[in-house]
Amino acid sequence: MSQPPEVHSAWLPPSAFRALGSRRIRIEGRGLLVDTVRSEVAQACASFGGRICEPGEPADLVLDASVTSSEGFRIGRLGESTVVAADGPAGLLHGLFEVVRRGEAAFDPALAEERHEPALPLRVLDHWDNVDVHPVMGQVERGYSGGSIFWRNGRLREDLTRVRGYARLLAATGINAVTVNNVNVHTTETHLLTDGLGQVATLAGIFRAYGIRVHLSVNFAAPVILGDLDTADPLDDAVRQWWKRTTERVFEAIPDFGGYLVKADSEGQPGPFTYGRDHADGANMLAAALAPYDAVVRWRAFVYNHRQDWRDRTTDRARAAFDHFAPLDGRFDDNVIVQVKHGPMDFQTREPVSPVLFAMPYTRLAVELQVTQEYTGQQKHVCYLPPMWSSLPLRSAAGLTAVSSVGDDPFWTGHPLAQANLYAVGRLGWNPGLDPLAVLDEWISLTFPGLREVLHDLMDDSWQTYEQYTAPLGVGFMVRPGHHYGPDVDGYEYTPWGTYHFADRDGVGVDRTVATGTGFAGLYPKPFSQLYESRATCPDELLLFFHHVPYDHVLQSGTTVIQHIYDTHFAGAERVAGMRERWLSAAGPVDPAVHARVAERLDEQLRSAEEWRDQINTYFYRKSGIPDAKGRTIH
């Protein structure tokens, strides 16, 4: 019988614990997370010959936790020892992983004292996992790494070893919360709130040992779906009582439960609109039920009309979240966090920052990223995303949330190199000021220490490369409808989804100006509104997001739009061919399973990049009739 493939150790291979595990370590403090630290250290010492010292004994590393709930810690030198002095047990765990990341450098006698604490209090990965296998979306909606690590055959998995491994990996990045089910809450998953709660409590028990709190996506119509009431009206007393009682039971089962996540009145999910109420009414009802506890409602701002008529030029999907939510600023209770996708459309490769993030000063906001690569190559393409995220105003947010990319695949993320995005999201939630390439370097050094050069070569500019061969200049989409993989320029052009590019024989792009378009550009504060309003100042990479321009419009780069399309598509596909060659020649020091998986994905990336190149180039050549100035083959 063939053995199941071994689960990859990701950024915590045993060797990452060498520096720590070969030393004398004293641990001071009490509680579950201190016990976790102790068992991590014991395991490392068992492998590398170090030991845990008794109180008072001299040590190379002192891990000392005070008793607060703060996640911060100090690291520095005291005499002959490196000391991690943590505010509390959670801080000690984060401090331990800081020591792991630094390796030998953590024991340098010249180590300068530093204080670390998370910039954002909430750092959460949302799983779009279904308990059942959904007939269209499969088990994990937009999942590219196999089945769910939590759920199987309609219930919690029996073997939860991987969940513990996952909790450990996430804790090492700084993540402190996980949502265990999809925001599209189907019937079975609605029951997780009540009769399925025991299963959620089991997961919470595993995550708790790594300082991670569990959240649940809830169905706004739960009181009706679960058969208890005939309305879900948020202002109805019986409904409010139902949520209060149900929430009490949740906290009886899971005392440190983190909160509810809600997708309401969006893409067919139920919500307050059915009852003539608004999103603040809906969110505040759940906030009232959660008020006695230290927990939050995350209410998603991803609300738009998905039954738009493509002939209707007055509706602009990019405006939707702003139009629905900005007028509600100041009406949300303190324990509500409005969760905003980073761009105004939908996790495209290039979008401007959502204007909602600047429009609600009296509301707690969280930014939502998509680590699962729905629109960025579905973990078949190498696409290191943090350079895109680094432009977001994260520091002022109440939380950073990201859709997880993890499944039961032996590499966790399908593409082994996609692990880097998962690693980075935790690190950037902790410290948004980190340089994305420095974070990549950290991930490489921990995960594939022998491959620094080749992986930087493949990954540093991989997002820009992906952008080059896909939809041009911020126009977005052009993907195959439904599964969203591969090119289909007009695939969404005459559909109800509001994701149009308006290419005709003269030009392409969406006029979102105030002067002649949908007015979206005017939703930004100055100077951004002015910058985007004018073709002359709009950044090239967003030109077609904001403007409909002729093909011979000259970009700030000096190239025409049509020539830019040709040039970038040839360059992007060529770059992928180079990445593939580079990887194949790196065979020597690489684990054969990793090598084979990455090689197979690069073959597909190249096939796909050439398909994108040829379809986009031919499409625009046929529309515009303008030949490539460099005379290359356009079919």
Q: Does 595 help bind ligand GCW (rule: CB under 6 A)?
A: no
Written as six digits, the tokens of 436 are 């994305």
Write out the binding residues for ligand GCW, residues 366-395 only, by CB under 6 A: 374
Sign of CA dihedral 457, 459, 460, 462: positive
CB of 104 to ligand GCW, least distance (A): 43
Q: Is 45 helix (H, G, I), strand (E, B) or coil?
A: helix
Separation CA 33–CA 38 (nearest Å): 9
Instruction: Give me the torsion for CA of 554, 555, 561, 566, rounded to 10°.
Output: 120
Mark whether 533 is an active-site residue. no
Q: Are 24 and 53 in contact (CB under 8 A)?
A: yes
Active-site residue (options: 346, 409, 442, 467): 346
Catalytic residue among 267, 309, 490, 600: 267
Q: How far is the CB of 184 from ligand GCW (least distance, A)?
A: 5
What minimum distance in Å lies between the beta carbon of 403 and ligand GCW?
7
Residue 347 binds ligand GCW, judged by CB under 6 A: yes
* 189 assigned to active site: no
Minimum CB distance to ligand GCW, residue 149 (Å): 18
Quote the least distance from Cβ 181 to ligand GCW, whole Å. 11
Residue 3 per-residue DSSP state: P
Indicate the pairing of strand 24-28 with strand 51-52. Answer: parallel
Least CB distance to ligand GCW at residue 370 (A): 7
Residues 440 to 479 in contact with ligand GCW, rule: CB under 6 A: none
User: Could you tell me if 107 and 23 are in contact, meaning their C-beta atoms sit under 8 angstroms apart?
Assistant: yes
CB 263 to ligand GCW: min, Å: 5
Nearer Cβ to ligand GCW (263/277): 263
Residue 184 in contact with ligand GCW, rule: CB under 6 A: yes
Q: Which is nearer to ligand GCW, 130 or 413 (CB)?
A: 130
In the bound state with ligand GCW, the residue whose beta carbon lies nearer, of 17 and 477, is 477
Tell me the H-state helices in 234-385: 237-253, 279-290, 320-325, 356-359
- Site for ligand GCW contains 304 (CB under 6 A): no
Q: Which is nearer to ligand GCW, 184 or 379 (CB)?
A: 184
For 143, which DSSP code? -
Give the residue, chosen from 26, 101, 123, 142, that forms a contact with ligand GCW under the rule CB under 6 A. 142
Which residue in 90, 183, 286, 489 binds ligand GCW (CB under 6 A)?
Answer: 183
Collapse the DSSP code of 433 into the 3-class scheme (helix H, G, I; strand E, B; otherwise coil) and give the result. coil
Q: Which of residues 74-133 bind ligand GCW (CB under 6 A)?
A: 128
531 three-state secondary structure: helix
Q: Which two tokens stand for residue 119?
A: 């910039």
Residue 481: which residues within 8 A CB-CB, separation 6 or more?
488, 491, 492, 495
Residue 485: Cβ-neighbour burial (10 angstroms; 0-12, 13-18, 19+): middle
Residue among 265, 374, 442, 467 flagged as catalytic: 374
Q: Residue 349 CB, nearest distance to ligand GCW (Å)?
A: 13
Catalytic residue at 374?
yes
Distance CA 320, CA 305 (A): 8
Within 8 A by CB and 6+ apart from 519, the residues are: 316, 319, 512, 513
Question: Binding ligand GCW by CB under 6 A: which of 11, 73, 97, 302?
Answer: 302
Q: Which of 346, 442, 511, 541 binds ligand GCW (CB under 6 A)?
A: 346
Among 60, 126, 141, 351, binds ligand GCW (CB under 6 A): 141
Is the CB of 142 or the CB of 601 nearer to ligand GCW? 142
Q: Which residues contact 429 (CB under 8 A, 6 or more apart)?
A: 118, 119, 120, 123, 174, 175, 394, 399, 400
> Between 263 and 381, whose beta carbon lies closer to ligand GCW?
263
Binding to ligand GCW in span 254-293, by CB under 6 A: 263
Shortest-Cβ-distance residue relative to ligand GCW: 346
Length of the chain: 635
569 part of the interface to ligand GCW, by CB under 6 A: no
CB-neighbour burial class of residue 32 (10 A; exposed 0-12, middle 13-18, buried 19+): middle
Closest CB to ligand GCW among 378 and 513?
Answer: 378
d(C-alpha 289, C-alpha 246), whole Å: 9
Place of tokens 């969404």: 492
Minimum CB distance to ligand GCW smaller for 430 or for 497: 497
- Count of residues interacting with ligand GCW (CB under 6 A): 10
For residue 158, how many other CB atoms are within 10 A of its CB? Answer: 7
Nearer to ligand GCW, 265 or 467 (CB): 265
Question: Residue 628: which of 545, 567, 551 has the closest Cα?
Answer: 567
Interacting residues with ligand GCW (CB under 6 A): 128, 141-142, 183-184, 263, 302, 346-347, 374
**Residues assigned a catalytic role:** 267, 346, 374
